[in-house]
Structure 1
Amino acid sequence: MKQPTRNPAKGAGRTATEPRPPRPAGAVTARTRLSDRWHSWLGHHREMAAEALRRFFATPLASLMTAVMIAIALALPATLQLGMGNFQRAVAGWDGQPQLSVFLHRDARATAVERFTEALRDDAAVADVTYISPEQALAEFQQASGLGEALAGLGANPLPAVLLVRPAAVAEPQLQALAARLRDSALTDSVVLDMAWVQRLARLTELAQRISLGLGLLLALGVILVVVNTIRLHIENRRDEILVVKLVGGTDAFVRRPFLYSGLWYGLCGGLLAWLLVAVGVALLSGPVAGLAASYGSGYALQGPGLTYLLGLGGGAALLGLCGAWVAVARHLRAVEPR
């Protein structure tokens, strides 16, 4: 049998012990640095925020209506809270605020009483001190009671000197602490503090604060529901786009991001409009309130929403919009899956 011939050119230049050349490896796996991932993540956030803002202004009428609904819902508790602050300022500056009547000993020396009065005026817990001498107290009592002739027959003045102390704070704990310190003085015979109306005022203030808190929570829930419904419509309008993104490997976070920024922009614009509504309302009421205060001889003026209110309403509304968008995306985005 004839042996097969061997081609001498085949394998020429390579000995039996020489290793074969390595085969091509095919696809190569590339590693991305952490800094590149971070910059890519930030860049996508900036791009989605700008895109959401462009979509917001692409439909100005619908976006404005949603923002106005959010603004009205936020303006109501904000107005109530601002009104409570102005009411507390008005009560703090009212001449009828609580006073402590400090009755001094009849045998107290005038110099000691004068030093005691000056010390009270320098006290940070005291707003004002008025000294009423026994003669002034008797004259006021005669005029108020109508017993001038009967009191004129008394041999001596039975009324002591009185210090009318107006405290700097109207809260009940501070008033009780100040009254206790005045009773401990050697010159003091007794201290009278009428706490009835102070307690009523504290209870009314507490009631108004709780009503404001409850109303604020209910309307905050309303804001979230408005944003949820709006973002749901956005998801339905972009269903085909979401399907394509998921088909090419887009993650849920990638798909979710533009809708979260849409909710944030809706909330932020609604918060700014709410601040504007409150500011306009205060401007309209400032004139009548100032005229009413002037008729009572007071220089009281309404305090409008400042920069703190602007930041609070804007930031709080943006957070509510973000929460509403998150709820809408978590609920409705699961239904949009490629098959």
Structure 2
Amino acid sequence: MKHTQSRAQRPASSGIEKRPRSSGAVAARTGISDRWQSWLDHHRQVARESLRRFFATPMASAMTALVIAIALALPAALQLGLANFQRAVAGWDGQPQISVFLNKRAQKTAVDSFAAKLRSDPAIAEVTYISPEAALAEFEQASGLGDLLVGLDANPLPAVLLLRPRDTHNSEKLQRIVDNLQEHALSDSVVLDLAWVQRLTQLTELGQRMSAGLALLLALGVILVVVNTIRLHIESRREEILVVKLVGGTNAFVRRPFLYSGLCYGAFGGLLAWALLLGAVLLLSGPISGLSSSYGSNYSLVGPGFSYFVGLIGGAALLGLLGAWLAAGRHLREIEPS
């Protein structure tokens, strides 16, 4: 009874069990490494998906890549042709030289003294003496008129001093050298062989500028092709884009697959452009080698090497990325859930 009464005298609150207070939902925080890994995983997933979509429609993708390849191959072929042209003329005497035609009555000792004086001149890099006999033999070989020249009583050609100036870019200094040589008693005539070198330089510069202008125009064409292609992709996936934006997808998230698609079109277009250049070089190398061998030369075409391979694929990929960015930035803003 005593035990029962003591239990009954206890406060009522002592019968209530105290439970720990629930803290509710816990907000989880993601670290920088988790966000970075998630970003990389999404990029890998989008890249694989873009490649899958590219090869899912092989005909349409190949046609677009081929258009890009042709647009890139034209300026690249012109640039490669200029490089081969410069390589072909590199073996020629591309430096301006001064030809001093000596008086036919000049004595050999006086000519030797004149040549030694010119060799000591700091403005002259090289002096070459060509005797009248050597000049006549070279003329017979170059002209093919050996039978006609046999009947001449005397050699009509004078001795020549060929001078190579050190400074070939200063026309005023070259002209002063010519004027000083013309005043010398042994000089009969002085010719500055500079005009054809200047013409060759100007033609090369003209070709380079034309190549650069054509490259800019066709690069713009590549961007427009990619813009139109990505626009069609966006329109075909309009419903999917609306659903992604309804669940909170940002424009950057939605834009990412189309950027990878532009990279695919550009990269494969650049690869095809390099293949077209290589095929053209292989097609022309045989006839050009035969033509050069007929002139006693072993010249051969140089094809697009590793630098062209990297440049075409990298440049085309960047153009494709730029075109996709422009198309996605413009058209994705127009697709918003109502």
Structure 2 length as normaliser, TM-score?
Answer: 0.76
Identify the residue that residue 4 of structure 1 maps to in structure 2.
Answer: none
Identify the residue that residue 65 of structure 1 maps to in structure 2.
Answer: 63
Taking a change above 3 Å as real, the CA distance of residues 178 and 65 of structure 1, as seen in their structure-2 partners, is: farther
Deviations 1:182-224 (A, max 9, x none): 99xxxxx787531111111122112111111111111111111
Identify the residue that residue 82 of structure 2 maps to in structure 1.
Answer: 84
Q: Which amino acid aligns with 2:239?
A: D
Taking a change above 3 Å as real, the CA distance of residues 160 and 178 of structure 1, as seen in their structure-2 partners, is: farther
Taking a change above 3 Å as real, the CA distance of residues 287 and 46 of structure 1, as seen in their structure-2 partners, is: same
Contact between 1:130 and 1:164, CA under 8 Å: does it hold in 2? yes
Q: Distance in 2 between matches of 1:318 and 1:22?
A: 61
Identify the residue that residue 55 of structure 1 maps to in structure 2.
Answer: 53
Taking a change above 3 Å as real, the CA distance of residues 94 and 292 of structure 1, as seen in their structure-2 partners, is: farther
1:224-243 equivalence runs, <5 A: 224-243=223-242
1:81-230 equivalence runs, <5 A: 81-94=79-92, 97-98=94-95, 100-101=97-98, 103=100, 107=110, 113=116, 131-133=129-131, 136=134, 149=153, 162-163=161-162, 165=164, 173=169, 192-230=191-229
Identify the residue that residue 290 of structure 1 maps to in structure 2.
Answer: 289
Identify the residue that residue 274 of structure 1 maps to in structure 2.
Answer: 273
Q: Distance in 1 between matches of 2:165 and 2:293?
A: 22
Gaps of 5+ in 1: 1-6, 15-19, 118-122, 184-188
Helix, strand or coil: the match of 2:235? helix
Residues 1:247 and 2:250 are matched in the alignment: no
Q: Distance in 2 between matches of 1:141 and 1:312?
A: 48
Aligned-CA RMSD value: 4.3
Taking a change above 3 Å as real, the CA distance of residues 26 and 209 of structure 1, as seen in their structure-2 partners, is: same
Q: Which amino acid aligns with 2:314?
A: G
Q: Kindly state the Cα deviation for residue 137 of structure 1 after the two structures are TM-superposed.
A: 5.0
Gaps of 5+ in 2: 1-9, 179-183
Contact between 1:102 and 1:163, CA under 8 Å: does it hold in 2? yes
Q: Which amino acid aligns with 1:85?
A: A
Percent of aligned pairs sharing the same letter: 62
**Equivalent of 1:9, from 9, 12, 18?**
12
Taking a change above 3 Å as real, the CA distance of residues 56 and 13 of structure 1, as seen in their structure-2 partners, is: closer
Contact between 2:289 and 2:300, CA under 8 Å: does it hold in 1? yes
Q: Kindly state the Cα deviation for residue 24 of structure 1 after the two structures are TM-superposed.
A: 3.4
Identify the residue that residue 17 of structure 1 maps to in structure 2.
Answer: none
Contact between 2:68 and 2:269, CA under 8 Å: does it hold in 1? yes
Contact between 1:246 and 1:338, CA under 8 Å: does it hold in 2? yes
Q: Which amino acid aligns with 1:67?
A: A
Identify the residue that residue 42 of structure 1 maps to in structure 2.
Answer: 40
**Equivalent of 1:32, from 26, 30, 33?**
30
Q: Distance in 1 between matches of 2:277 and 2:195?
A: 34
Identify the residue that residue 334 of structure 1 maps to in structure 2.
Answer: 333
Taking a change above 3 Å as real, the CA distance of residues 216 and 130 of structure 1, as seen in their structure-2 partners, is: same
Helix, strand or coil: the match of 1:107? helix
Helix, strand or coil: the match of 1:162? strand
Structure 1 length as normaliser, TM-score?
Answer: 0.76
Q: Which amino acid aligns with 1:193?
A: L
Q: Kindly state the Cα deviation for residue 101 of structure 1 after the two structures are TM-superposed.
A: 3.6
Deviations 1:135-183 (A, max 9, x none): 645887999998965779xxxx9x556246599xxx962x869969x99
Q: Which amino acid aligns with 1:246?
A: K
Contact between 1:267 and 1:319, CA under 8 Å: does it hold in 2? yes
